Amino acid sequence: MDLSQLVIILATAIATATPLVFAAIGETITERAGVINLSTEGTILLSAMTGFAAARAANNVLVGFAAAAIVGALVSLIVAFGAITLKQSQIAIGFVLALLCADLSSFLGNPIVLVPGPTVPSMPIPLLQDIPVLGRLFFQSDLLVYASYLLIAVTWVFFYRTRPGLLLRSIGEQPAAAFARGNNVIRMRYLYTLIGGALLGIAGAAFSLDFKAGWSNRATAGYGWIALAIVIFGGWNPLRAAVGAYFFGVLQSLASVAQSSIQSVPTQVFSVAPFVLMILVLVLTSGQWLDNLLSRLPVEVRRPILRAIRAPAPAALGKVFEQD
């Protein structure tokens, strides 16, 4: 394999991973606040469809993205209302919405299946695009891809360098302690669930207005579920989640290259990888056995290893908080 082939594989990987980056980071934000939005697959499909329809009607890509973000936020509002205000199971409501919104997208999107529509225009960055290898990889994409890089960085900085980010992490961890420090936990959970939902919506639009450039039924190939797996794989850290998304992208693009040589294995098989990795990560981090295994090592060695591997879920994830 020569360099140009490698560049093509990696460039495809980035394109494949971009919607996933938006979805995984959106869901990471929501779960950090303590809410599981299990509706990802349905939300992405529905917003992909509405985003494309809106962009087509207005002949404006931005309108499409706005519509998709609003749809994503609206679906997550149902999750937030059912889970936070009505205190029903987040899993049940999210799961029903995952199925419902997926079917709704097929049903309402029927007239716009495979019709042409606007797409995000390519926007190579002058000068930078001419850098060998790197230019082709990072600076010959479109605004959406650049925005995804920015999102990763901004989210990471927000989480770990800003005051509201610290609060966000704390309400998913110990809401009672966060409340004691003067925060309105309920309101913040609503806010971050909506933000996460809007990002899921943008992930959907990234599909229909950029990556796949158009709408067809069930076009997202399970990206919503994959995003859920990647959030866990990423240990609720936006940077690690992005790495997970790109890793998935590389696998997919390798698979499509490999398909020409080994025809027998379809690319779908590689979609399994994130889930296998998720389960492995869960096995590694959930049980006691890692502790037992490492307990023979001296503390100075053990702690950094544990810190590197262990990425525990937010302690209050999925739990009802009574703010009285």
Partner 1 sequence: MNIQLTHIYKRFGAVQANDDVSLDVEAGTIHGLLGENGAGKSTLVKMLSGFITRDSGEILLDGKSISVKTPADGIRSGVGMLHQDPLDFPPMSVLDNFINGRPGRLFIDRRSAVKEFKAIAEQFNFVIDTEEQVGLLTMGERQQLEIVRLLSLGVRTLILDEPTTGISASQKTALFAALKKLAKQGKSIIFVSHKLEDVEELCNNVTVMRAGKVVGSSAIPCATSKLVGMMFGRELATPVKPATSRTDTAIKIEGLTIGDDRMDVRVNDLSIKRGEVIGLAGLEGSGQRLFLLTCAGVLRPFAGKLMVNADGRLAEMTGKSYHQFQKAGVGYLPADRLREGLIWGLTIQEHVVLRTPSDGLFVNREASHSVAETAIKTFNIRGKTDTRVGQLSGGNQQRTQLALLPTPLNLVLMEHPTRGLDIESTIWVWQQLIMRCQGGTSIIFASSDLDEIVQYSDRVIVFSGGKVSEPIATAVLTASKLGEMIGGKFIGASAS
Partner 2 sequence: MKENPTLHTKSPVSQLNRGLIYQGGALMLSLLFVAVIILLTGESPLHVVSALVDGAFGTPDQFARVFATLTPLVLCASGLIYTFTAGLYNLGVEGQIVIGAIASTLAIRVLQGQLPPPLVIAVSILAGTLGGVLWGLLAGALKVYGNISEIFAGLGLNFVAQGLAIYLIFGPWKRPGIASMSGTEPFDDAFALGRFGQTDAAPVALAIAVIVLVATIVIMRNTHFGLRLKAVGQNPRAAFILGMPSTRLLLSSFLVCGAFAGMAGSLQVVGLFHRLIPSISSNLGFLALLVVMLISFNAVWIAPVAFFFSALNVGSLQLPMALRMESSLSGVIQGMLVLFALLARGFSERNRKTRS
Site for partner 1 in 162-221 (CB under 8 A): 162-164, 166-167, 169-170, 173-174, 176-183
Smallest gap from Cβ 161 to partner 1, in A, equals 6
Interaction pattern, residues 125-164, with partner 1; x per rule: CB under 8 A: ------------------------------------xxxx
Please say which residue, 156 or 215, places its beta carbon nearer to partner 2.
215
Please say which residue, 203 or 232, places its beta carbon nearer to partner 2.
232
Site for partner 2 in 34-53 (CB under 8 A): 38
Pick what 132 binds: partner 1, partner 2, none; C-beta below 5 to 8 Å, kind-dependent: none
Q: Which of 51, 72, 82, 244 binds partner 2 (CB under 8 A)?
A: 82
Quick check: 286 binds partner 2 (CB under 8 A)? Answer: yes
Q: Which two tokens stand for residue 92?
A: 């049940």
Give the integer Cα–Cα distance in Å for 219 and 267.
15
Compute the Cα dihedral for 143, 66, 26, 161 and give only its sign.
positive
Site for partner 2 in 223-242 (CB under 8 A): 225, 228-229, 232
Q: Which of 129, 217, 256, 323 binds partner 2 (CB under 8 A)?
A: 217
Q: Which of 97, 195, 242, 255 binds partner 2 (CB under 8 A)?
A: 97
296, 300, 301, 303: CA torsion to nearest 10: 90
Concatenated DSSP letters for 206-238?
HIIIIIS-SB-TTTTTTHHHHHHHHHHHTTT-H
Q: What 3-state DSSP class applies to 113?
A: strand
CA distances 241 to 157, 246, 274, Å, are 14, 9, 11
Pick what 110 binds: partner 1, partner 2, none; C-beta below 5 to 8 Å, kind-dependent: partner 2
Compute the Cα dihedral for 160, 162, 168, 169 and give only its sign.
positive
Compute the Cα dihedral for 91, 18, 148, 63 and give only its sign.
negative
Return the CA Rg of the chain: 20
Residues that bind partner 2 (CB under 8 A): 38, 78, 81-82, 85-89, 91-93, 95-97, 99-104, 106-111, 217, 222, 225, 228-229, 232, 263-266, 268-269, 271-272, 275-276, 278-279, 282-283, 286-288
